[in-house]
Amino acid sequence: MNAVRTGALLLLPVLSLLLLGAHFFRASFVPLTVACLGLLALLFVRTRWAQLTLQVALALGALEWLRTAWAFASVRAQSGQPYGRLLVILGAVASLTALAAWVLRTRAAREHFRSLR
The closest of 40, 55, 53, 56 to 105, measured between CA atoms, is 55
Q: Is the pLDDT of residue 24 over 60?
A: yes
Whole-model pTM? Answer: 0.90
Alpha helices in 27-117 (DSSP H): 30-42, 48-78, 84-103, 107-112
Q: Is the pLDDT of residue 117 over 60?
A: no
| Measured CA angle at 32 (ends 111, 70), to 5 deg | 95
Cα–Cα separations (whole angstroms), residue 65 to 19, 21, 60, 80, 90: 10, 12, 9, 22, 6
Distance of CA 45 to the CA centre of its chain: 17
* pLDDT category of residue 5 using cuts at 50, 70 and 90: confident
22 or 10, higher pLDDT: 22
Q: How high is the pLDDT of residue 23?
A: 97
Q: How high is the pLDDT of residue 35?
A: 97
Q: Is the pLDDT of residue 76 over 80?
A: yes
